[in-house]
Amino acid sequence: MQKNCRNCRFWSQMCAQSIGCGPIEALCLGADKYKGKYTTETMVCDGWKSDHYGKIDDPPNYGELSRAAYEKEEGA
């Protein structure tokens, strides 16, 4: 599995944009160098974490279930 924004839990599902016909960009919700910035799905950083339970802001409950699953697996 490639460790890029597309499959990182911190790549927002709720805050995304596409300017013109450009690629989709989503807000990084992580704590690394891209925090609070829009990134494309192919970007990488050291803060990557697998999204196997979903994104941390997944609809419809804004990530409550996925965040709880990550906390149960990894600790608080």
User: Going edge to edge, which strands form the sheet with 25-28?
Assistant: 11-17, 25-28, 38-40
Model pTM score = 0.90
Q: Phi-psi region for residue 45, left (φ > 0), alpha (ψ -120 to 50) or beta?
A: beta
- Looking at residue 1, its pLDDT comes to 80
- Looking at residue 41, its pLDDT comes to 96
* Cβ contacts of 11 within 8 Å, gap of 6 or more: 5, 26, 28, 29, 39, 41, 51, 55
- Looking at residue 75, its pLDDT comes to 85
- Looking at residue 68, its pLDDT comes to 95
The tens digit of pLDDT for each residue in 2-43 reads 999 999 999 999 999 999 999 999 999 999 999 999 999 999
Mean pLDDT of the chain: 94
